Amino acid sequence: MARVEDAEPASVQRAWFVVEHQPTQQSGCFGVRSVLRLNLITSPDVTTRHSLFRTDLIPKTSREFMKTPKTMFLARLGDSPFGKSEAYIKLEQLGEGSYATVFKGYSNLTNQVVALKEIRLQEEEGAPFTAIREASLLKELKHANIVTLHDIIHTKETLTFVFEYVHTDLSQYMEKHPGGLEHRNVRLFLYQLLRGLAYCHQRRVLHRDVKPQNLLISEMGELKLADFGLARAKSVPSHTYSHEVVTLWYRPPDVLLGSTDYSTSLDMWGVGCIFVEMVTGVPTFPGVRDTYDQLDKIFKILGTPTDDDWDGVTQLPGYKNHKLGFYRGQKLGLSFPRLYDIMEGESMASALLQLNPDDRIGADNALRHRYFSSLPPKLYELPDETSIFSVEGVYLFPEGRPCAVKT
């Protein structure tokens, strides 16, 4: 095991995150492709109530991270009022996942409502790597369109992340307003999503799980990327459990076909699916069974790719002729005619939903697409942590029947 620092002030209390992994070559983005176990080991003088983990000691690149099969991270704990469990009151449960439960809470420090993501610590397994990865990333990502991590609380049984409270997500918002959203609101939501992703991608961070459930929406209309805990996977299984099917809807064809050469284009496909879904009110590619059913939904509309239009696609592990139907591609607007109701809507959707990941538009370029030409130029001058709703004339419109004229 390698220590991060050999010497430290005696006043600093310590906790160690020990990651055991198989060294795996991967391209530049932070993360571990195959994590076997992550344990939280506290020294005897570390109590159960301390402040934010220091994550700036975590290696920034995968090359540094993969030098040894075992890597030890030091997390420093201080004496601030943050990190103490009594600083927060747990209210009603908001949701539950495989390793965490989210509660609405109240902060006695700020007198504000917060969201408490409570992660159960298994005695043998320790803290899930996804949780540590999420904390390390959110500590560094400070942006108006990325959810804010306020605090971390560690006890013997749980690790709790204290987030800003945002009252709904895009999935719930679309359920509340069926049939497609007001087009001007779609434009604002998409702009904010791209703005947040552009910030991440500039810092070599991929979200890897862009879907409506992970996009929080405030009462004002602010969209915030959430849930940065998805671990990097080598491939996508061809058989999934029911709770994984929804995520497949927003997964790009290159990943569905088994590619592990991830890039920012992975996130951009999900953006395209969400854009079309906001416009139409229905999922863009709603597969119901497995990976090949999902691919069939995509190829029926966009066409089955060949090496002529996507070099090397037939060499991907999941490209099996006997499992893939052959279809000719067509314009997205023919399958989703409502895209033609929006100025440059079909053009934007097509730029995002390119089968070949090399052809997909990036977040920075998408922000400058003609689709956004009606927005105030001042939006492009905002500091990272400033909301677009601080600009005069930018506000969320009442949801009703989507406009029938081009906007």
Residue 119 CA to residue 95 CA, distance in Å, equals 12
Name 153's bridge partners.
160
> Residue 209 catalytic?
yes
Alpha-carbon separation of residue 269 from 22, 234, 301, 311, 403 (angstroms): 29, 18, 15, 18, 26
Instruction: Out of 151, 169, 209, 290, pick the active-site residue.
Output: 209
- Please check if 117 is assigned to a binding site: yes
Residue 394 CA to residue 407 CA, distance in Å, equals 15
User: What one-character-per-residue DSSP string does 170-210 give?
Assistant: HHHHHHHSTT---HHHHHHHHHHHHHHHHHHHHTT------
At position 331, the amino acid (one-letter code) is: K
* Dihedral class, residue 347 (left if φ above 0, else alpha if ψ from -120 to 50, else beta): alpha
Element (H, E) at 94: strand 88-96
Q: What tokens appear for 145 in the block? A: 């369109």
Contact 53, 77 (CB under 8 A): yes
3-state secondary structure of 317: coil
Q: Which positions are annotated as active-site residues? A: 209
Q: Mark the binding-site residues for ATP, compressed into ranges.
A: 117
Known binding positions: 117
